[in-house]
Every structure is written in structure tokens, then in C-alpha cells.
Structure 1
Amino acid sequence: MKLGIEITPLTQQPTGIGYYTLHLLSALSALPDCPEICGFSSGLHKPQTADLPISFRRIAVPTRALYRCWRLFNAPKADAFLGGTDIYHAVNYVLPPLKKAAGVLTIHDLAFLAHPEWCSPKIVAPFRDAVTRHARRADRILVPSEATRKDVLRFLDVAPDKIRVTPLAGDPSFFPMPREEAEEQLREHLQLTGGFLLCVGTLEPRKNLPTLLRAFLKTDLPHKLVFVGGHGWGDALQAQVPLSAQDKKRIVFTGYIRDRGLFPALYSAATAFLFPSWHEGFGIPAVEAMACGCPVIASDTSSLPEVAGSAALYAAPGDTDAWARAMEHLCADITLQEDLRQKSLAQAEAFSWEKCALATMRCYKELL
């Protein structure tokens, strides 16, 4: 089998889809029946493939210009550009024109259809109509959760029998660290000291960070609230929730952290990981937190109860008081913290990139 797969998301600062692409390719490459893999990329920067045993070809034009070319001229054919493939896997919502290959399309979530106000207009406008067209053309659609499968059926009107659920996983290198070692690493690299609650994700409306910040400021907890992630779109969080001089002493914004080696320390040292998103297709940070034994408080919506199971506390994403109570309850109860740590470690073991790769390979083979 020869597999063509999109690798444009393998950027120098990857986020969710980039990590999905990286870990899926790494796991596929480790399978005994690994196919021949050839990557396809576009854009003005080369993809970051140094750690992957794959070849690739690139069309060095802006990706949105290539999308326009595909839409207007139905060319170039991605599989033909790669020298011919049996399967072509589009990992980022857009299935390119294909000459002969069967098309597999990953749809990570449909928040931009369910609630367009939470998503960047740069995504909503071009993807709103296109995703339906691409989904109907695809021979198989991969989704990361049962919640996303239901959204695909609700919004895209595709045949249920061509959808496959392939759950994701966290970074396989993430494990619990001794707290003292984790705290020392954070002191050295981030100048972060003392107890803290952690939130990881791009700073954008869908992540519902204003609710979290307002809830935290309602508490008298001695902890700091640490936000890890680059700015996405929309108004800056500080503009939405004005902070007093005293408030600012309790809030830390690290920005995007390139060194993935620091994340086990962050998760291992945090009293809790907070995930207040309005909508998630899967929620990789929750699994990574659980893999490090970090107690989780998450929104009771979309895929998050499916992913975190009984290993988390839940609150409605719009209920500021409920989030404040959950934080206070968890921080005050050492027994509860330990119980959730143990449940988190067990829950995280349900997910692995090997399992995701095996499920993905089964899908490919169905199309041969």
C-alpha cells in the first residue's frame, strides 16, 4: 500500500492538528505492516519532518491559494503529484482533487458549524460550505470521538457507514514526575513557584477562558492560575476581564511553550488541570494531564465527558459559580486529589497513538 498524507500542519509551532499528524505518522511508521508513506505539503515553509521516516513533496504556494486552485480548476491532483497513491489521507478538513486514490478525511470537530461565534471568521467563512462538500466526496471520514461522529451526522448529512471513530492520545513521552523535580524544573525554566492551577490551549473564544478567569477571581485560593498557550484570535483575555493590580499577581501567562519537555513538569506540579472549553472534538490536553496524574476539572459538554470519564470533576461551561466551587472543592480536599490522580492515570491508559494508528490502518485497508 502507498499512502499519501497531508503534512502541512507539521509547523515549527504545531497545535492540535499538527500534533495529531506528527503522532499518527510516528505510530503508523512503527507498525509491522506500515505502508509506504509520502507526505504532501503546501505553503511557504517546509514541514518539520526531521523525526519521521517519510518522504514528501511540497507545492510552495500559500495554502489558501492552493485551496482556491483546487476549487476552481479541480487541479492539481494530490495523489498524482505524489507519483500515485492507493490512499490519500487529508488531515485538516480539506480533501484535495484525486485522480485514482481513495480519499480519507479527518474531521476533528465542527465547532465552526455548531457555534460559529466561537471560531475565527477566517475559518468559518471558507470551511462552512466546503466541509460538507469534502465530507461527501470522502470514501471514509475519521473522527476522534463519538461526540464528533454525532456532529458530523447532524451537520453534514453523510452516510453513517463511512464514518470511523479513531480516538487520539496524549504525547507518549508524558509521565508523572516527582513533584519536587517538577517544581525545580519550573523554577529554572519558567520562574514559576508556589501552588498553581493550570490551563493549556490556544487563547481564543472557543476555549472559554473568560469564564475560567472570572471563576478563579471569585475564589480566595492561594494558588496562581497559569495559562499556557499562544494567542489565537479575538480580543485579548485581559481586555475581556479587567484585572486589578492584586489580580495580576495571581495570574500567569506563559505564552506558547516550544519545549514540550516542560509539559510533564507543568502537569505534575499543578494542583489541577482546568479545561473549560465550550466545545472540543477530543481534548488532547486532558489526556496529557491525566497521563501525568493531574486531577482534571472539565466542561460537561461535547467530547470531554467521553474522554475523561469518571476521572474528572465537571462543570457547565457557562456557569462561573460552578467552576469556582469545583476549584475550591478540589483544592481543599487532599483525599479527592489523590483519588482523581489514580483515576486519571488509569483513564489515560485507555488511549494510545498505537491504537489510533491501528484503527486508522483498518480504515485504509477497507478501501483497498
Structure 2
Amino acid sequence: MPARYGGFETAVEEIGRRLAEAGHEVTVYCRGERHPEREYLGMRLVHLPAVKKKVAETLSHTGLSVLHAAGRRITRRGPDVALVFNAANAPLLPVLRTLRIPVATHVDGLEWKRTKWSGSGRRYYRTAESLAVRWSDALIADARGIQDYYTERFGADSVFIAYGAPILARPDIGKLAEAGYAPGEYHLVVARFEPENHVHLAVEGYRRSGAVKPLVVVGSAPYADAYTTQVKELAGDDPRIRFLGGVWDQDLLDALYAGALTYLHGHSVGGTNPSLLRAMGAGACVVAYDVNFNREVLGEEAGRFFGDVESLAYQVEAAEADPGAAADRGEAARKRAAEHYVWDDVAKEYEKLCEDLAARRRTRRTVRPKK
């Protein structure tokens, strides 16, 4: 906190601040850069270290967080309910259960499909999914496709709670001018540089297109040097393709979404993707990778889809040929986000879930596979 990178950060900030406003005591375990105060938007922040290795960073930080929460529980100041984000943390759930802390696990997407994980990492994530089913009092799925996966693979029930979308009525377009861009005069990619986010496909498809307006690529990845090199090799010396790296100025990022002629969204293995919702809330014309998660969020009218280099190139050229139609799709996306992805509604669903957990109306019996 404050959230700058990743869907979980944004979700915790948006949900946590609303729970705090409703009168609940909210503690958030943080890693990385410290906020100067111990409280932020009504939430109590606890910063703990983590091992700076890809395979250990998440689990090491969560382990310390669980021990901290356990210590508070022993002194009768601990949590009534724990919300754990990422099924990879499932091996630590028995500690919470031993202390009789009800726990809901947000299982996220199909992490084992990410190419950054080797055979052992992939096996770990598959195992962690089954442990989350076994030891959670509730599973949270942010997409119907994820909910279906847990039903089909484990026979497990889950609670569907989507993310919210920030609706940008007046983005600071002046930020675009400072960065050297004008509304409607560029295409945009915002993604971590990971193969399953298909940044390589966006870059290659754009390069093969006859597009005149530049492609602006925002993003990086701390553990993906080889993939980053591959993406930049695909761009070659094409002067139309511009890599900005990570953009931490949130006003500038909002302006980039709002001013793009198209937003090219290649994410394929997550659930409801926050970057997609942010683009929709900004009124961007979305061209998304054709998987069930993205179709679920966009519907049939609020976006266009691609599956290969040729179809992406076609969509980019079509948007430049008819920018009015692209703008209309952007408005349809904004309307859909405002109707279906509302943070106030999301927070109320989390509040109800926490109340049910604290009152023991939800227990492992409501999650575990039926015999």
C-alpha cells in the first residue's frame, strides 16, 4: 500500500478501505516499499520482509505474516477472519486453522499455466490448489471460468466475487502531452512481460500491420530477462514501437489508457484482469486475446478479439481505418464496467463473506469435495 503494481494490491486497497469505512478493523500485511505511516486509508499496515527469490518471495512473506497474526491471536488481539490472496499460500493455512481463525482463499487464476514456472513449480501450484480446497473455509473466484475450473477439477464450491473497475470520467489528458502523446494517436499495451500475457504477439502483430500510429508498450518483469529480450528483438528497429518500461505515475497511466486508440490485452491465464477493467473504465477500445476470461468480462459488444499475429494486425488496421467505431466500442466498454464491476458492490460481498465466516455459516464443509 498504496497499490501500484498488480491486481491483488488494487483489490486489497479498494476492498480494505471500504471495510474500514464500514467500521471494521482491517490489517494488511505488506512487502516492498514502506508507506511512511502505519495506517493508510483506515487500514493498519504491517510491513514484513521476504526472500528476494522468485520461488520463495511470496511464501516467505506469507509465512511471516501468518506467524505475526498467530501471535496477535494468542494475545487475544488477533483477527476474526483471514483473507489469503493466492492459492500458492495454501501450505500455511493449517497454522491459521490451528488458531481457529476462519480463512477464505482467493485462488486467483490458473497460475500453474504460467510459463515462468518449471516442472517443479508447476507441480507445486497444482498441489497448492488442492490444499486450498482442503484447508480453506471458503474459496473466492473472481471469474466464472475460475469457478467452473474448481468445480470440474475438485468438485469444490467457491464464492464468485469479481473485481471493480475505476471509472475515469475526466482523466488528466494533460499528462499525455507532457509524455509526448495525443488522444487517439497511439495503440497501447500494459502488461508484465510474461509469455502468457502475449506481449510478443502484440508486438509482432503490430509490426506486421500497416498501422501508422505508434505502439506504446508499458511494463516489465523482475524475473523475465530472456522474454524481455525476445520481445525487443521482435520489435527490432521499428520506429513505431516505443517501450516505456514500468509507469508508476498512476495519473499518467490512467491518461495513457484513456487516450489510446486501442488497448491490446494479451492476458490469458488469470481470471478477471484488473488491467482490462482499468482500460474499460477509461473508455479504451479493447482488442483482447481470445480466451473465456476476456470474453466473460467484455461480453460480445464491448471488445474485439485476436488469437494470432494476423488477426491482431487486422484489428489494429481496422481501428485506424474507423476511429469513430473504435471510440464507440470504448464507450460500450466503459458502460459495461460501470454496470458490472463496481468496487462498492465488491466490498459488500467481501463484508458478507467475512461475516459468514466469523459466524461459522461458512466452513470447510461448504468447500470440500462432495463424497
Q: TM-score range by the shorter chain?
A: 0.7 to 0.9
- Work out which of the residue numbers 17, 25, 28 in structure 2 matches 1:26: 17
Deviation at 1:144, TM superposition (A): 0.8
- Work out which of the residue numbers 299, 305, 317 in structure 1 matches 2:295: 305
Against the structure 1 CA distance between its residues 303 and 230, is the aligned structure 2 distance closer, same or farther, given a 3 Å change threshold?
Answer: same
Number of equivalences: 339
RCO higher in structure (CA 8 A, sep ≥6): 2
How many Å separate the matches in 2 of 1:26 and 1:87? 16
Q: How does 1:183-332 map to 2 (within 5 A)?
A: 184-188=174-178, 190-192=179-181, 195-234=185-224, 235-240=226-231, 241-245=233-237, 247=238, 249-309=239-299, 310-316=301-307, 319-332=308-321
Which amino acid is 1:242 matched to? L
Tell me the C-alpha RMSD between the 2 structures: 3.0
Give the match for residue 133 of structure 1.
Answer: 131
Give the match for residue 164 of structure 2.
Answer: 169
How many Å separate the matches in 1 of 2:265 and 2:50? 36
How many Å separate the matches in 2 of 1:227 and 1:109? 24
How many Å separate the matches in 1 of 2:246 and 2:105? 28
8 Å Cα contact 1:170/1:285 also seen in 2: no
Give the match for residue 104 of structure 1.
Answer: 104
Give the match for residue 332 of structure 2.
Answer: 343
Against the structure 1 CA distance between its residues 104 and 274, is the aligned structure 2 distance closer, same or farther, given a 3 Å change threshold?
Answer: same
Give the match for residue 362 of structure 2.
Answer: none
8 Å Cα contact 2:286/2:303 also seen in 1: yes
Which amino acid is 2:86 matched to? N
Q: What SS does the corresponding residue of 1:85 show, helix, strand or coil?
A: coil
How many Å separate the matches in 2 of 1:119 and 1:65? 14
8 Å Cα contact 2:191/2:219 also seen in 1: yes
Against the structure 1 CA distance between its residues 55 and 121, is the aligned structure 2 distance closer, same or farther, given a 3 Å change threshold?
Answer: farther
Unaligned runs of 5+ in 2: 360-371
Which amino acid is 2:5 matched to? P
8 Å Cα contact 1:16/1:284 also seen in 2: yes
Give the match for residue 149 of structure 1.
Answer: 147
Give the match for residue 363 of structure 1.
Answer: 353
Give the match for residue 7 of structure 1.
Answer: none
Q: What SS does the corresponding residue of 1:293 show, helix, strand or coil?
A: coil
How many Å separate the matches in 1 of 2:328 and 2:202? 23
Q: What SS does the corresponding residue of 1:337 show, helix, strand or coil?
A: helix
How many Å separate the matches in 2 of 1:138 and 1:20? 20
How many Å separate the matches in 2 of 1:35 and 1:136? 28
Which region of structure 1 is more displaced relative to structure 2, 90-99 or 78-87? 78-87
How many Å separate the matches in 2 of 1:195 and 1:66? 39
8 Å Cα contact 1:136/1:158 also seen in 2: no
Unaligned runs of 5+ in 1: 1-9
Deviation at 1:256, TM superposition (A): 1.0
Give the match for residue 159 of structure 1.
Answer: 156
8 Å Cα contact 2:204/2:234 also seen in 1: no
Give the match for residue 6 of structure 1.
Answer: none
8 Å Cα contact 1:195/1:222 also seen in 2: no
TM-score by length of 1: 0.81
Q: Percent identity?
A: 18
Q: What SS does the corresponding residue of 2:18 show, helix, strand or coil?
A: helix
Against the structure 1 CA distance between its residues 58 and 121, is the aligned structure 2 distance closer, same or farther, given a 3 Å change threshold?
Answer: farther
How many Å separate the matches in 2 of 1:236 and 1:295? 27
How many Å separate the matches in 2 of 1:212 and 1:66? 29
Deviation at 1:252, TM superposition (A): 1.1
TM-score by length of 2: 0.81
How many Å separate the matches in 1 of 2:122 and 2:221? 18
8 Å Cα contact 2:142/2:160 also seen in 1: yes
- Work out which of the residue numbers 78, 84, 95 in structure 2 matches 1:90: 84
